[in-house]
Chains A and B, each alone.
Chain A
Amino acid sequence: MRWLLSFLLLGLLSIVQALSSSGNKLLVILEDAAEKGKYSKYFADLEGRGFELTYESPKNEKLGLFELGERAFDHLLILPPKSKGLGPQLTPKLLLEFINAGGNILLTLSASHPTPSTLISLLLELDIHLPTDRNSLVVDHYNHDTLTSSEKHDVILVPRPDSIRPDVKNFFKGTEQGGEVIAFPRAIGQILGNDSPLLTPILRAPRTAYSYNTKDDVEGVEDPFGVGPQLSLITTMQARNSARFTVVGSSEVFENSWFDGKVKRSIGLGGSGAQTKETKTSNQEFAKEVTGWTFNEIGVLKVGKIEHYLNEGGVQSNITNPKIYRVKNDVTYNIELSEYFWDKWVPFTPPPRDSLQLEFSMLSPFHRLVLAPLTRTASSTIYTTSFKLPDQHGIFNFKVNYKRPFLSNIEEKNTVTVRHFAHDEWPRSWVISGAWPWIAGIGVTITGWVAFVALWLWSKPVPLRLTTSGKKIQ
């Protein structure tokens, strides 16, 4: 009986291990059911994290991404097919509709199988450029694995990536101990268009790598498709509805043989690394991070409650979220943010050089202020700022618009009315020093009037006397 109980406990524990924040139905597209064995460790990792895997071939007619207008699956993993296309159930239009409906897609390519032209045009629509010829391969004569590709140099060894920008969170840096390598065999490099802010590369090719056509450029390459960090090996696109689309240049990164393979670096730039030993690849951990990001297990943000209230003269008002304020009121705004980390919501902190900003705007922002953390609960951080409303009346919005690479989008808008000063809220005239002569004048007039009335009622007329020159004097 005891073994049954511990078995049950183990089963329950594995469910609690990790869970995507947006559902766990994962559809895996692989053409050849025999290939399941090659990726068995990867699929076991996914199932251990709570995903429900369904395996389908692209040729299956009954395959449907949508059921009665709703998404039938939450996530999609596409392994490269050998045939020319992905079938009628996975057209680019349907894949884009899947993303627009909030589904995440992890697409893997391979230099060993020609990429279907429908996929090339789908990625072009997202501004990800693939080589138009079907025979391209990324090689690196300075950063390859000498154990498996000492001649062909097509297994590239890449270190863990740095942050894309100093103010962007890096979810893919591993244990940060240094010396970690990721094996990238037979990859297709991508070039990203410069205009789109939605594209972010996770892993870029090393400085000396380049992509060439294996059929045409056998002797030497004079017009490579892309060189060095301009080639992106893993590209991500996060749509404006926070749905995620990741393109991995090589499906072999997820294979069992590379999950615990041993590699030996070649001699790098300037003769470095001539005496390196064999090291283990970090493909399994890296695959977990890339898949975790794509399937909403990390990097997902959530807004808790939003409160704004009047804070005039240091006295906090009891009424939260009033609909109307007055010009030049002192107002405090609080917002609660959480971040999803594998299986639970944790307090969110923006990266060190980044900051969360509040905009108080009518048609354009009148204020854009930094939100500072106020308190921290078990699962969220509350950010706050206090400021004076502008001296313009109208309909204003409290806007928090936080969109960053690798974090889901936050757009919160609260509308309030800002009214003018009421007639009795202006400063009184005795406070205005320029009015004092006029107030004095009023007092003088009143005094003169009352004195006149008294004199008129109760004075006795005084007779006039005349001087010798005829003038009237008293």
Chain B
Amino acid sequence: MRFLRSIVPSLLLASSGIVEAASSWNVDEAIISVSGKGAAGTGFKDKLSDHVPLSNPVALGESDTLKIILTATEDGRAKRPHQAFLLLRDQDSGLETTIPFSMKESGKGKVDFTQKDLPVQLLTSSQPLRATLLLASFGSAQGFSNHVFNLDVQKDANTPAPKYEKPLRYGKLEEIHHIFKADPTSPPKIISIFFALAVLATIPVLLGSWAFLGANLSHLAKATSAAPVSHSLFFGSIVSMEGIFFLYYYNWSLFQMLPVAGVIGLVAFLSGSKALSEVQERRLAGDR
């Protein structure tokens, strides 16, 4: 007797659990149809199942209207649910929009929409939109939530794709690497070498032609015996002037070079006048 008494409450609990699970919302006679502008009766029409989605995606063109008529039932009896939504989800980005049904007291509801009613972010999806039907209300009844069909939004090939400008969000920006101007280039080295050699070749040509015309240094002995200091200083200053020009080209600054050039120039002037007067003497003596 005591044993029976102890299992009675657990039996009652189990039976109440079974009764609770039975209360749920469902959909009855759901018909989906797509109709184009003016072409009544020639569009797509099908019945939506309450446990399996449509196998083929439903196509919605630019000027088509999609319409769904259904009856919502709670425990088999038609009743108006508080929430009757059709959710359309973009499979790429996860964005989902909601289109509410207009419901009557009897539980019959309908919804219709065109492409214009969909937000622009969903119109540019690469996959069909996933449509879920939600029917639920207050109370303990379990809501109905099933994937009922896929919606293929078809864009007209002629109309341009809708523009969607992404709003500003803080995040990392694209990397920028400055593109430098090209360094100045020289022509191929072989050309430079060729022409440099051509220029250098003029020296032997010059010296050779002078030699052919009878160039000689015969008066060098006579000149140095007559005025050795002035001639050596003069020629030395000519050569060292060239040396100063080379040093200025290599690494001297102007203010390093000018004083030295001034000194050498003075030496050239003073020794040169003596050296050239010696040359004048040779000229007057008839040697030149």
Contact = CB atoms under 8 A, between A and B. Distances in A.
Contact of B200 (A167, A357, A434, A443): A443
B193 interface: yes
A274 B21 CA distance: 9
B81 A228 contact: no
Given A357-B173, A459-B219, 16 more contacts: A141-B143, A212-B82, A219-B80, A227-B98, A228-B98, A432-B186, A436-B192, A437-B199, A444-B200, A444-B203, A448-B203, A449-B242, A451-B207, A454-B217, A461-B288, A474-B213
A325 to B, nearest CB: 14
Nearest to A441: B199
B169 A224 contact: no
Kindly list the 5 A-B residue pairs having the minimum CB-CB distance in the complex, ordered from nearest: A141-B136, A462-B214, A434-B186, A437-B195, A460-B218
A455 B202 CA distance: 18
Interface in A125-172: 139, 141-142, 146, 150-153, 165, 167
A368 B172 CA distance: 10
Contacts of B186: 432-435
B172 A354 contact: yes
Given A367-B178, A460-B287, A446 B242 contact: yes
Interface string B147-179: 000000000000000000001111111111110
Contact of A448 (B137, B138, B206, B220): B206
B103 to A, nearest CB: 5
B91 interface: no
B16 interface: no
Interface in B117-155: 134, 136-140, 142-143, 145-146
A457 interface: yes
Interface string B212-225: 11111111100100
Contacts of A449: 242
Counting chain A residues whose Cβ lies within 8 A of the other chain, the interface size class is 35 or more
Interface string A208-236: 10101000010111111001110000000
Given A228-B87, A368-B173, A434-B187, A457 B178 contact: no
Contact of B235 (A195, A221, A453, A461): A453
Interface string A438-469: 01110110111111011101111110000000
Overall SS of chain B's interface: mixed
B178 A460 contact: no
Contacts of B279: 457
Interface string A279-290: 000000000000
Interface residues of B, number: 76
A390 interface: yes
Contacts of B196: 436-437, 439-440
Given A220-B82, A222-B103, A453-B238, A403 B138 contact: no
Interface stretch (A17-25, A177-185, A265-273): A265-273
A173 interface: no
A434 B145 contact: no
A404 interface: yes
A448 B210 CA distance: 11
